[in-house]
Amino acid sequence: MLAVDDALARIIAALEPLQSQRIELTHAVDRVLAASITARRRLPAHDDSAMDGYAVRAADVPGPGATLTVVDEIPAGRTDARPLQPGTAARIFTGGCVPPGADAVMLQEDAARDGDRVTFTEGARPWQHIRRAGSDVQPGDAVLAAGRVLLPGDIAALAAQGRAQVAVRRRPIVAIASSGDELIDVDGGEPARGQIVNGNSLALAAAVRAIGGEPRILPVIPDDRAATERAIRAAARADVLLTTGGVSVGEYDFVGQTLAQLGGAKFEFWKVRIKPGKPFAFGHIGDCAAFGLPGNPISALVTFEVLVRPALLHLMGHRAIVRRPLEAVLDHDLAAGRGRREYKRGLVRRHAGRLHIDCRRNQSSGALSSLAGADALLPVPIGAPPRKAGETVQVLPLGPDGPLDRLPLADR
């Protein structure tokens, strides 16, 4: 069996980020930039006023009491440039282009207007309250680096450079298929004896969509070798295939065997030293990255979080693909690690300025309650010593922003 870190390293090494596509800027937020952006325009494009006031020659306002004749008015957006003559001022508004000859803007709060005459209560300093052309960005400056997840502020920066479209990494199409004759659809009525609602496909589709992938839920694969092969061959037209169930060694477990058969030399591995979730397969079927996840819902979701989620983020061009661990205080004793790295599910709270984690909920791999409502995973390394309540441990936050986004504001 592979160690968790070795399994993830092999997965990432076998994958290349998806090709780029150009999309409209209006749809680019939260997408991953495919190529670094350099400036082709200077910003600001011209000297402009940072405040409402009067454009002057600084030499004409050496100190309080200077009076000038107002000869012009410059709102933002005016395109012509009328030079400012000595002894005159121009009324100017924020964003207005500073006229040739002017080298300072006096605040309107420091000015007393009387008809076409204005008297200033302060002296002028050269270039005060003026945003110099190119002071923010010069042509050739780095604007955004490849791999950045675009935020609204980035969209503004791209628009200022005149980029109506931008190249981003394509989102992966992820086919999701659960296997097992016992599975029924969520709207299939009350389960009969031996039947189980197919929650895995819905949960994995939600997890894929949450990070920007495009899930495609496929029909349940029956426990039949030929049907399994037909279903997997068809599903492998997607960028990624996620299956759940059928990867163990039971007499009706055909998925793992089929992945290995169809993957051939591109089949990477079958088992990982992880709990929950030891039966886990990965390989390629043609150009499709295929992941065989366990059928147990908790095992499927934990292995997705630890091994599949980073792979999908890598495919989408993300630079940061694994959760950033946080320190938390144990609210209870923790048993020693055993022969597989275990990921316990826990609730996080903040107390006295520190995060605390409680993993005393049912940790059975068949207990959906252990993951429903959980805020974080607590990894317990192989052979780790037992820990006492009050000790500090590393936890992996769940959700888009981790557990902190769900804590009350007053407790942050």
Residue 192 lies in a domain: yes
The per-residue pLDDT for 252 is: 62
The per-residue pLDDT for 407 is: 42
The per-residue pLDDT for 269 is: 77
**Cα-Cα-Cα-Cα dihedral sign, residues 259, 261, 265, 269:** positive
Query: Which residue among 131, 156, 188 closes a domain?
Result: 131
Q: Give 240's strand partners.
A: 174, 289
Looking at the fold, whether 90 and 202 belong to one and the same domain comes out as no
Looking at the fold, whether 31 and 110 belong to one and the same domain comes out as no
Q: Kindly indicate the confidence band of residue 412, based on its pLDDT and cuts at 50, 70 and 90.
A: very low
Provide the CATH number for the domain around residue 259.
Answer: 3.40.980.10
Residue 193 lies in a domain: yes
Looking at the fold, whether 28 and 12 belong to one and the same domain comes out as no
Residue 321 lies in a domain: no
The per-residue pLDDT for 410 is: 37
pLDDT tens digits along 181-222: 888 888 888 988 988 888 899 999 999 999 999 999 999 999
Instruction: Kindly tell me if the per-residue pLDDT of 3 is higher than 80.
Output: yes
Looking at the fold, whether 11 and 112 belong to one and the same domain comes out as no
Scanning the structure block, which residue is given the tokens 């002028």?
A: 124
A 10 A CB-CB count for 383 gives 10
251 phi and psi angles, rounded to 5 deg: -70, -20
The per-residue pLDDT for 362 is: 79
Provide the CATH number for the domain around residue 30.
Answer: 3.90.105.10
Comparing 168-172, 300-304, 365-369, the range with the smallest average pLDDT is: 365-369
Looking at the fold, whether 257 and 184 belong to one and the same domain comes out as yes
| Share of residues in the chain with pLDDT > 70 (%) | 95
Residue 177 lies in a domain: yes
381 phi and psi angles, rounded to 5 deg: -65, 160
How does the average pLDDT of the chain come out, rounded?
92
Contacting residues for 122 by C-beta, under 8 A, at least 6 apart: 61, 64, 106, 107, 110
- Across 372-392, average pLDDT: 93
Instruction: Kindly tell me if the per-residue pLDDT of 104 is higher than 90.
Output: yes
Residue 237 lies in a domain: yes
Q: Kindly indicate the confidence band of residue 399, based on its pLDDT and cuts at 50, 70 and 90.
A: confident
- Rounded (10°) CA dihedral 94, 99, 104, 109: -40
Provide the CATH number for the domain around residue 376.
Answer: 2.40.340.10
Residue 353's Cβ-count burial label (10 Å; 0-12, 13-18, 19+) is exposed
Looking at the fold, whether 220 and 360 belong to one and the same domain comes out as no
Looking at the fold, whether 150 and 286 belong to one and the same domain comes out as no
Query: Which residue among 105, 131, 157 closes a domain?
Result: 131
The per-residue pLDDT for 82 is: 95
E-state strands within 130-277: 130-131, 142-144, 165-169, 173-178, 183-184, 196-197, 214-217, 240-244, 267-271, 274-275
SS3 category, 227? helix
Q: For residue 89, give its domain range.
A: 48-131
Of 159 and 365, which is predicted with more confidence? 159
pLDDT tens digits along 218-274: 999 998 999 999 999 999 999 999 999 887 766 667 888 899 899 998 888 788 999
Query: Which residue among 292, 315, 338 closes a domain?
Result: 315
Q: Give 119's strand partners.
A: 67, 112
Looking at the fold, whether 241 and 380 belong to one and the same domain comes out as no
Looking at the fold, whether 338 and 404 belong to one and the same domain comes out as yes
pLDDT tens digits along 324-380: 999 999 999 999 999 999 999 999 999 888 999 999 987 777 777 777 878 899 999
Instruction: Kindly tell me if the per-residue pLDDT of 155 is higher than 60.
Output: yes
The per-residue pLDDT for 403 is: 45
CA atoms within 13 A on the CB side of 220: 20
**Cα-Cα-Cα-Cα dihedral sign, residues 108, 112, 118, 119:** negative
Residue 255 lies in a domain: yes
- Across 143-169, average pLDDT: 96
Looking at the fold, whether 284 and 331 belong to one and the same domain comes out as no
Residue 301 lies in a domain: yes
| The pair of three-digit structure tokens given for residue 64, joined into one six-digit string | 């309080």
Looking at the fold, whether 177 and 288 belong to one and the same domain comes out as yes
- Across 159-171, average pLDDT: 96
| The pair of three-digit structure tokens given for residue 222, joined into one six-digit string | 């029956």
Q: Kindly indicate the confidence band of residue 1, based on its pLDDT and cuts at 50, 70 and 90.
A: confident
Of 350 and 117, which is predicted with more confidence? 117
Looking at the fold, whether 182 and 311 belong to one and the same domain comes out as yes
DSSP string, 156-192: HHHHHTT-SEEEEEPPPEEEEEEB-TTEE-TTS-SPP
Residue 320 lies in a domain: no
- Across 28-40, average pLDDT: 96
- Across 125-146, average pLDDT: 97
Domain count, the chain: 4
Of 30 and 409, which is predicted with more confidence? 30
User: What is d(CA 271, CA 292) in angstroms, rounded to the nearest whole number?
Assistant: 10
pLDDT tens digits along 58-71: 999 999 999 999 99
- Across 10-14, average pLDDT: 95
Provide the CATH number for the domain around residue 52.
Answer: 2.170.190.11
